[in-house]
Structure formats: C-alpha cells, structure tokens
Amino acid sequence: MSRALFTTPLILPRCSTTRRIVRMSATETRYPGISFKSMAIKPPSHPTYDLKGVIKLALAEDAGDRGDVTCLATIPLDMEVEAHFLAKEDGIIAGVTLAEMVFHEVDPSLKMEWFQKDGDYVHKGLQFGKVYGRAHSIVVSERVVLNFMQRMSGIATLTKAMADAARPACILETRKTAPGLRLVDKWAVLIGGGRNHRMGLFDMVMIKDNHISAAGGIINSIKSVDEYLDKKNLQMEVEVETRTLEEVHEVLRYASQTKTSLTRIMLDNMVVPLPNGDVDVSMLKEAVQLISGRFDTEASGNVTMDTVHKIGQTGVTFISSGALTHSVKALDISLKIDMELALQVGRRTKRA
C-alpha cells in the first residue's frame, strides 16, 4: 500500500522490568497492506480496545448525516491529486501507521509514501510524506488524520525530551489519557522512547492512597492483594504507593517476613519543591537506598522537564508523569495539495 524511505530507527531505553502481555483486538484489525509486525513501533497490548472502531467514530463525528458538503460542492468526485505532509515545527513524528489506517478506512485506493517513520525527528519545513489518489477522499480524511498525528507527535516529542533527561531511569505515562484514546496516547509514548505504565485497571494491581485508607492501612491492603491473587491464581505486577519513609519501612518489614506478590514501590511526592524553583530529592534518594534493589521503584509527583534529570539521578527505576498525555501540546503539521503556496504562506508566517 505504501512505499517507505526510512532513516535510523529510534533506540528505546533498557529498563529492568518487562510487562505482562495481554492480547489486543487492535492488532488483529485487518488493514490490507498494513502490517503490525513490520511497523517500526507496535501499539501496546489491550484485550478489548477496538482501534478500527475509534477511527470509524472519529470519521463519523466529522461526517455527520450528510458527509462533507464542502467537498461535495467543490471537488469533482473523479479528480485525483497529490497532497504533502509538512512539519511546521521541530519534533518527533508519530501516527504514520495510524494515518494509513484512516486513509484506508475512507478509501482503500489511496496510496501513501513516507520519507520518515514513527519515532523519527522532523524539522520545521520538512515534507515528510505524501498521499495521492481521489481528492475528495484525501480532503475528507485530512482533519481526522492530522488530529491523530498532531496529538501523537506532541506526546512523542515531549516523551523523547523527558526520556533523554530521565536516564538512567525510565519515563512512564499514567492513565491520565484522553477518554477513548488510551491506546493511541500510550502508543505515542512508546514512539517517543518512553515505557508504558499499566494500560488500565485490569493488567496490574496498583494500591494507591484511597485503597490504603479503605483497607485500613498499607499492610492490610498488601495482605488483601496477596490473598486475592492467590485465591484467583493470578500472576501480575503489584505496586504500592508510599508517601513517607515510615511507610517504606513498613512495606519492607512486611516483605521481609512474608511471601508477597509485591514487585514495585511508588515513592509519591518525595520530590520537594524549593522556593528558588529547584527541588530537594534527598527524601527520594533515601527511600531508594532503603529499598536497595529489593523492588523496582517509581518516583511520582513534581515531575517536569526542569526536574526530571535530577530525579533520574537518584537511582529510582521509573519516573511517571501524567503531563505526557494530559497536558500535551500538539505538534503543528499540515497536509497540503498546493505545496508551493503553502510554503509561501509558511515563510510569511515563519512556520515553514
């Protein structure tokens, strides 16, 4: 379906823990000519997510009950054109495979050619791909394609910057994703060089403050999880949130005396903001030293581009940031049939 001229692949950071993989309906969606096995970075796993259904919904909300009345009025149905993807700012491109799926859903006869792949760097003014075929189909697809690509590229760009700064720790997103776009947002994190946290409520036990309060304490909550997993004969990662060094000591004492399913300890809000804009990571560092490799550790809270490098130097295994997906700034991308005019306008507005 498409010809691709690819550059150097993105190298993902190595992390100590591998996730339990569950089957995902998205990877079983059939799009002739699009192979999940051959793509640069595959989408994460989910047992029920319907990626094709998400695409259809996005197209349906745009088309309404009449379709694109402007296209129907202005573009002959048999007209064929070539349209070019133009990056209007620097960043990491993401959503190339998803764009192909959208185009194919609208019109399987459309052809694409990409000069960059998911995870590649693009600079302002770069033409990184093109689509050719029926003009009507291309214009109808345009906004949905760009909405996906711009959001995913924004997430991937921020993730790449934070992942580079966090090393040797690994950067994770959270469940703070756009409703209905969980898999798409988390796919973009992978493309940017991050790692996925749990996909949802089903694939990892994560004991947080409200669970601890309701269970009557941190040890009661861990005991309850151990008993539940044993009763249900389930094996999965288990993480518990700690907010004080005393809680860390409690968890370690319990784990030293009892066989437990616990695999990771979250160190929440142990990064303390200072009046000068810096952060104090001494509490986080002490907690990591107390745990001393017996469990994976995850730093959470007060994670920004300005603080993530310092946090990553404490020895923590993972750093989680909700901002990767809940505060995303879309990467500016356009799709233009008349590239010469588009570049003239871009130069005038300093966007190309």
d(CA 50, CA 10): 27
Identify the active-site residue in 20, 23, 208, 294. 208
Q: Which tokens hold the place of 268?
A: 């929440």
Identify the active-site residue in 42, 124, 130, 143. 143
CB 95 within 8 A of CB 118: yes
Which amino acid type is present at position 45?
S
- CA separation (Å) from 128 to 139, 156, 335? 18, 16, 10
d(CA 176, CA 205): 17
Identify the active-site residue in 142, 203, 239, 298. 239
Identify the active-site residue in 111, 175, 176, 223. 176
Pairing of strands 170-172, 264-268: unpaired
Q: Which tokens hold the place of 12?
A: 């993902």
8-44 as b/e, with b when 16 or more CB fall inside 10 Å? eebebeebeeebeeeebebeebebeebeeeeebbbbb
CB 46 within 8 A of CB 182: yes
Note if 268 is an active site residue.
yes
Note if 105 is an active site residue.
no
Note if 239 is an active site residue.
yes
Identify the active-site residue in 100, 268, 296, 332. 268
- Give catalytic residue positions: 143, 176, 208, 239, 268
